[in-house]
Amino acid sequence: MDEFSRGNVPSSELQIYTWMDATLKELTSLVKEVYPEARKRGTHFNFAIVFTDVKRPGYRVKEIGSTMSGRKGTDDSMTLQSQNPPPLLPESLHSLKDK
């Protein structure tokens, strides 16, 4: 979590803009488009949501599932929407209501 403190992000960060109904397998495909080495059979992908903690300063992590390149898995069809996303900060909610 220190990687996210003071406005920092991990050096290997990959930002993906997607819909909440995207599956973990679809997200895996997006990563593989950008990082050819991730296409190797057996490459394991772990997914988590990192979000601001509304109760105290800092960030929290919610592990949501994993996939593997070249193999079917139980989490392949899982969506972000199905994971009960963490609550948004009040200012984020305000921004959404204004749109």
- How does the average pLDDT of the chain come out, rounded? 78
Helix then strand then coil, in percent of the chain rounded to 5, is: 35, 20, 45
67 class by beta-carbon count within 10 Å (0-12 exposed, 13-18 middle, 19+ buried): buried
Q: Which domains does the chain have, with CATH numbers?
A: 2-98 (3.10.20.550)
- Between 1-5, 7-11, 17-21, 61-65, the lowest mean confidence (pLDDT) is in 1-5
Q: Is the pTM of this model over 0.75?
A: no
- The per-residue pLDDT for 76 is 96
